[in-house]
Structure 1
Amino acid sequence: MLKFKSWFCVSAAWTSQPFDLDNYTTANCLCPATATGGKCQPGFYCPEGSIEPTPCPPGTYCNDSGLAEPSGECSPGYYCIRGATKPQNTDGITGNICPGGSYCDAGSGQPIPCPSGTYSNILALSDVSECLLCTAGFYCDLPGLTAPTNPCSEGFFCPPGQNVSKAIACPPGHYCPEGSAKPKLCDSGSWQDLGGQAECKPCVAGYYCDNRIGPVIDIELYPCPAGFYCPVGTQAATQYGCPPGTFSPNTRLKNINDCQLCLPGQYCASFGLSAPSGELPFTKSGLVPRSCFHYRRTAEGKGLGDGPAAVVGNHFKNFTHLQNVSTS
């Protein structure tokens, strides 16, 4: 039997280019039933010796009749399933534009899902590099997503491109609420010695937490210094100084009442003293110079202001003028 490219010959064909076929379908239906062959239709191709048309394979198209081979590859950004007649089919049967969450390089027979850790809500992508990295603070756990799955879990942070909710544990000295893209340094006045935490702890009384100089992880390294006191949440070493008229040689003071009254016969002239400023400088006439005025406080430790005062024994006495002071 003679054979010819671009044609197909069924049984009893008497020529290499039979014309007695009116119709052909992929169900091998011939009209009329006595037909001996015909020319390949669009969507099919017929290599030499074909006994029936071959549907254009996935990823290719056949845009004309009488083809001996496919016309070419399906266009980038589109996919061709089988029997496509155009490189950019959009009929949804033989092919279509590449949907969101996928990409279609040249010759694609099906959309290729964007990998986990990425997503895309854009049509007609043609390369995996066009898939978007999962948004920082979120994760993309499955292939083919058109949006991130969910925010990153609290206690963890998610840089771009993550595919699990607990990507990287929050380091000590930091906190990571839900949806964190990176660790957040604890605010001054707070600290954190554990990893994987969603919030920081208030600074312990007797200590200070100054995160401006680095994350506070071991609070024992930050005792309140002598001359100062540190209530809960203290942000800096010298935030709360023992007031004038008081001092403290001790560390880790928790409140103002832990400051000591200035010693008898001595004066404490400024804030934050770890020892008295010196002895009271009496004049020859027994007068106390105005420079020895001091801060007063009540028995409850509340400051009364910075008006003139001098130490007499363990007590505070107001002075509006220079006065004789007895040390007896």
Structure 2
Amino acid sequence: MEHRGAVCAATAACLLGVVLCQTTLAPAVTNTTVLQNVTTTTPMILSTTTPGCSTLNTTTCEACAPGSYSDNDTLLCSCCPDPGLCMFSGACLQCGQGFYQPLAGQQLCLPCNPGFYTNFTGSPVCQTCPLGTFNNETGSISCKSCSPGFYSSKVNSTLCSPCPQGTYCNTSSCAQCQVCPAGSESLQTAARECTLCRPGMHKPSHQIMCQICSSGFYQILWGQENCDVCPENHYCPSPDVNPIKCPSDAFCPQGSTAPGYCMETFFRKAGETCELAPVTIALLVIGGGVALLFIILLVLRRRRDTDSELSVSRAPLLGKERPPGRFYSMPCDAEPVYAGW
């Protein structure tokens, strides 16, 4: 009993992390001997080792090593059993916010990487930053929301990206930017809102930027999806002005950008077409007569030249002397004699 009291007194002086004495000392090994038919029982204190942990010597009251804690029920130094606990000498403490530990029996807690966070103690893992948020620091307890005009389209992002041209985000925590509606656009990146297309321009819903109206079309309103074709009997010199009435002596079919006129002096407008002016008809008749006369003269001159060429080619043949001869008792070259009837 005196030996047990000494052990208790020594044990009572130990601090946190030291095995405290119990009224019943266990585990212990009982050694039984027989001497002169008298049985005596003497308790013996043994050092006990837990695998992976430091040895606890209850006789010297040593502190538990880091990575283990004192268990008053077994008088042993036990490894901290659960993940998410930070091991200090003589105690297993939970990892603080922003830190984690996935393994048991470790002496350090690990900080959460950028893009991850944990907001409770004793965490075995860190959580990923959700869509629309980011985190660029270690050991964080929360993620930051993307500002309006920026977005984050994947988890565990370390930064937010600005919305590209033609898109916008008017709230925080955007997972993606929205395309500007029909008739509007965003000319800058990181846009929080869209601006309307100006007169003379338009933007369908499938396009990104406003486009100038095509030739022969016009649009005088803001924020329009389509342009209108210039109507008949009007012309549209610019896409951002109202159609202009066509002059009475001009033609303006649908989609005209400028009035069309008949050729002055030679043509004149007749309904929806141009017709020949009287002076043009007279000139054509005179011109046609002159051309016909020229052709006739050319043909006659050609024929005369042909006859002259034939006369020249026949002259040598006509100049040859004929041999004398008689025909019906008359020389062949004698002149004919008429009888008078």
The TM-score with structure 2 as length reference comes to 0.51
The aligned counterpart of 2:24 is none
Question: Where in structure 2 are the equivalents of 1:280-319 lying within 5 Å?
Answer: 280-281=282-283, 287-290=285-288
- Give the match's secondary structure for 1:123: coil
The answer (yes or no) to whether the contact 1:19–1:38 under 8 Å persists in 2 is no
Question: 1 CA distance for matches of 2:87 and 2:99?
Answer: 14
8 Å CA contact 2:84–2:109 kept in 1: the answer is: no
**Native 8 Å contact 1:77 1:98 kept in 2:** yes
Once the two structures are superposed, residues 257-297 of structure 1 have per-residue CA deviations (whole angstroms, 9 ceiling, x without a partner) of 25665543x229xxxxxxxxxxx448xxxx511499xxxxx
The one-letter amino acid paired with 1:161 is A
Decide whether the 8 Å contact of 1:225 with 1:237 is kept in 2: no
Q: In 1, are the aligned partners of 2:183 and 2:210 still within 8 Å (CA)?
A: no
Kept in 2: contact 1:204–1:232 (CA 8 A): yes
The residue type paired with residue 125 of structure 1 is S
| Separation (CA, whole Å) in 2 of partners of 1:176 and 1:105 | 38
Q: Is the 8 A contact 1:205 1:233 kept in 2?
A: yes
Deviation at 1:78, TM superposition (A): 1.9
**Does residue 140 of structure 2 align to residue 100 of structure 1?**
no
SS of residue matched to 1:219: coil
What's the TM-score once normalised by structure 1's chain length?
0.52
1:73 to 90, 101, 111: 111
Distance 1:242 1:18 in 2: 115
Aligned match of 1:60 = 99
Deviation of 1:171 (Å) = 0.4
CA distance in 2, matches of 1:321, 1:205: 45
> Which residue in 2 is equivalent to 1:18?
18
Structure with higher helix content = 2
- For residues 46-57 of structure 1, the aligned pairs below 5 Å read 55-57=94-96
User: Could you tell me how far 1:19 is from its partner in structure 2?
Assistant: 4.4
Alignment partner of 2:209 out of 182, 193, 196: 182
Percent identity between the aligned chains? 23
| Structure 2 CA distance for partners of 1:190 and 1:66, relative to 1, 3 Å | closer
User: Displacement, 1:60?
Assistant: 3.0
After superposition, residues 142-221 of structure 1 pair within 5 angstroms as 142-149=171-178, 151-159=179-187, 160-164=189-193, 167-209=194-236, 216-219=239-242
Once residues 60 and 183 of structure 1 are traced to their aligned partners in structure 2, the CA distance between those partners, rounded to angstroms, is: 50
Could you say which residue in structure 2 is the equivalent of 1:43? 84
Distance 1:116 1:290, change over 3 A: farther
Identify the residue that residue 120 of structure 1 maps to in structure 2: 152
Task: Return the letter of the residue paired with 1:104.
Answer: N
Cα gap change, 1:64 to 1:258, in 2 (>3 Å):
same
The answer for unaligned runs of 5 or more in structure 1 is: 1-11, 23-29, 86-90, 249-255, 269-279, 293-319, 323-328
Task: Give 3-state SS (helix, strand or coil) of 1:247's partner.
Answer: strand
AA partner of residue 252 (structure 2): C
RMSD of aligned Cα (Å): 4.6
Counterpart contact for 2:130–2:154, Cα < 8 Å = yes
1:267 matched to 2:295? The reply is no
Report Cα offsets for 1:211-244 as digits up to 9, x if no partner.
xxxx521236x6657974112222x326x55379
CA–CA distance in 2 between the matches of 1:74 and 1:13?
A: 39
Distance 1:241 1:78, change over 3 A: same
The structure whose RCO (Cα within 8 Å, separation 6+) is larger is 1
SS at match of 2:127: strand
One-letter identity of the residue aligned with 2:155 = L
SS of 2:209's equivalent? coil
Does 1:232 find its partner at 2:254? yes
How far residue 157 of structure 1 moved from its aligned partner, in angstroms, is 1.7
Q: Please, which moves more after superposition, 200-209 or 135-144?
A: 135-144
